[in-house]
Structure 1
Amino acid sequence: MTWKHPSSPVTRKFKVQRSAAKVMAIMFWDAKGVILLDILPQGQCINAARYCSTLDRLKEAIRRKRPGLLRRGVVLQHDNATPHSANLTQQWPQRYGW
């Protein structure tokens, strides 16, 4: 029960709608701008294998967009998210000397 003044307008209920589906995106950038934007299909989660395949695409994007950067060296900064700290992901940069 809500107390209100007799001359107050009638309260209206909002129409309930499902929210738009969420989409996950992974972005890699440097000082010059975005190098790779990887958008996962709706409902798909990131895991170590998927993240490593994204790193493969990142390597090719760097080769195309930033020639010479692979020879100078690349530094990846990760947080402690499970896909970043998995053994498979930890081995990937070591394999390429990043």
Structure 2
Amino acid sequence: MSKRITPFASRYCSTLDRLKEAIRRKRPGLLRRGVVLQHDNATPHSANLTQQWLQRYGWKILPHPAHSPDLAPSDFHLFGPLKRHLGGMAFETEDDLISELRNWFDNLDVDFFRVGINLLLSRWQKCIDLHGD
């Protein structure tokens, strides 16, 4: 692994640490049953450091074909509503943008996320039925 990639993989592993802690607090049984994570094939996700982290905690990865935005919930379910929400807004500082994003995410109904995951299941099935086409 090159030195240039290490900080990104390290940051991603820190994010996974925070996710693991949030799951431990909110859904402890999930950690005992096992976590299945979906992420794409970006370098920080496939780096040795990340793979070692995943192996250490026994988390499994849902395969994600390269260049498949139709299988990434952020692409097919999140970004559209987020773009509509932010449309026409202007921010003085990066902190203002971050504050607005946090506010938007905090006010999303839990069903928003449930719908996205359910859509993922049907999209995966369609991909399987069409043999990846």
> Any gaps of 5 or more consecutive residues in structure 1?
1-45
Alignment of 1:19-58 (within 5 A): 47-58=8-19
User: Which letter does structure 2 place at the counterpart of 1:90?
Assistant: Q
**Identical positions, percent:** 92
How many residues are treated as equivalent by the alignment?
Answer: 53
Q: Distance in 2 between matches of 1:62 and 1:92?
A: 16
Q: CA deviation at 1:67?
A: 2.1
3-state SS of 1:79 partner:
coil
CA distance, structure 2, for counterparts of residue 96 and residue 68 of structure 1: 14
Amino acid of the residue matched to residue 49 of structure 1? S
Kindly report the root-mean-square deviation, in angstroms, between the aligned alpha carbons of the 2 structures. Answer: 1.2
- Measured after TM superposition, the shift of residue 95 of structure 1 is 0.3
The 1-side partners of 2:28 and 2:51 are apart by 25
Larger Rg: 1
TM-score (norm 2): 0.38
Q: Which of 47, 50, 57 is the equivalent residue of 1:89?
A: 50
Aligned to 1:68: 29
User: How far is the alpha carbon of 1:53 from its aligned partner?
Assistant: 0.6
Counterpart amino acid of 2:38? Q
TM superposition score normalised by structure 1: 0.51
Structure 1 or 2: larger strand share? 1
Whether 2:41 is the aligned partner of 1:80: answer yes
4+ residue stretches of structure 1 with deviation over 6 A? none
Unpaired segments of 5 or more residues in structure 2? 1-6, 60-133
Which structure shows the bigger proportion of residues in helix conformation? 2
Query: What amino acid sits opposite 2:58 in the alignment?
Result: G
CA–CA distance in 2 between the matches of 1:76 and 1:95?
14
Secondary structure of the corresponding residue to residue 28 of structure 2: coil
| In 2: Cα distance, 1:84 partner to 1:48 partner | 7
Aligned residue in 2 for 1:5: none
For residue 62 of structure 1, report the CA deviation from its aligned partner.
0.1
What corresponds to 2:81 in structure 1?
A: none
